[in-house]
Structure formats: C-alpha cells, structure tokens
Amino acid sequence: NLRLETGRVARAPKTAGTSSARGSGRWHFPISAQGIRAIVVFVVLMGLFYGFVHTPANETTAFRPYLAFIARVVGGILAVSGYDISVAETTVHAPQFSIEIVSGCDAIEPAATYIAAVLDSPVGVWPKLPGILVGTAAIMLINLVLIVSLFFVGAYYPNAFNMIHEGVWQAA
C-alpha cells in the first residue's frame, strides 16, 4: 500500500479490512503545494510576457528596432564572412539571397520561457542573475547561428529552405 505524502512516497498503514490505500477513501493529489505554486508562478510570468508582446504598440515601439538590430548583427556576421551584404530595416540583402527577420525569428519567446523558469526556481534572486544573463545570451547566440545558417541554406540550397526553416529549426 503506497500513498503520496508531501512529495515522497510512503507506506500506507494497514487498516483492518482494507487491502489498499484506495479502500481507505483517502486520495492524495500527486503534486505538492510547492509544485502547484511553481506552476502558477510560471503561468503568471508567461501570461505577463504574452500580454506585453501582443500589444499593438509593442510591434512599432520596442519590437521593430530589436528586429532591425538582429538584422544588422546578422548582416555584420555575413559581411565578415565575405558576402556583399546590405541591411534595410529588418531585411538582410545579398546577391545570392535575402532574408527578413520577423516576429518569431527573434528568440524572445524561448528567452522569456527560460527566464520565467529560472525566476520560478526555489533559489534566491542573486544566484539566479548569472544564470539568467548567461542562459539568455546563449539563447540569443544560438538564434544568430540559426539565422545565419538559414541564410546559407537559402543562398545555396533554396529548395531546402522551407523544410530547414519550418521543419528542422522550428523543432530545435
């Protein structure tokens, strides 16, 4: 006879006439109060994020300049690689291929999910800061690798671009 007690499994005491914990009429929710609190905090943090991101003003005031910044960084990486690159707002142009950085190609959502998970962890605020900074920087760096690789795929294997963009990198 097993029952869940504050996050750990313990033997249920034998009662006369019952052969299982189910027979005792008691059921224990399989998630502790701490687990429920963590879920609620994470959902609230992500709700705040989505509430901010999906406001009409955000698209023009804060978000477009960020997408343009990503385009300039990608253009700089490609220019250092020897490509003839020009950047116009959120689009990176080359004779071989052009790629536009749009909402969803920015790593904001994965970074927000990571930050919410770290903030929700049961550790003090100060130990979380290095993890937030390093983890978010890593997510942003991986996103730059993703965009640059998509440029190369589009330039040299244009028939594979949609499959790589929507099938491979979306899953990553």
Name the phi and psi angles at 73, rounded to 5.
-65, -45
- Residue 137: its pLDDT value, please? 96
Residue 12, C-beta contacts closer than 8 angstroms, at least 6 positions apart: 1, 2, 3, 21, 24
- Does the pTM surpass 0.75? The reply is no
Per-residue confidence band for 10, with pLDDT thresholds at 50, 70 and 90 = low
Question: What single-letter amino acid sits at 67?
Answer: L
Closest CA to 77 of 171, 9, 162, 152: 152
pLDDT at residue 100 greater than cutoff 60 = yes
pLDDT at residue 17 greater than cutoff 80 = no
- State the Cα–Cα distance between residues 98 and 155, nearest whole angstrom: 8
Task: Give Cα 172 to chain centroid, integer Å.
Answer: 10
Strands 2-5 and 8-11: antiparallel
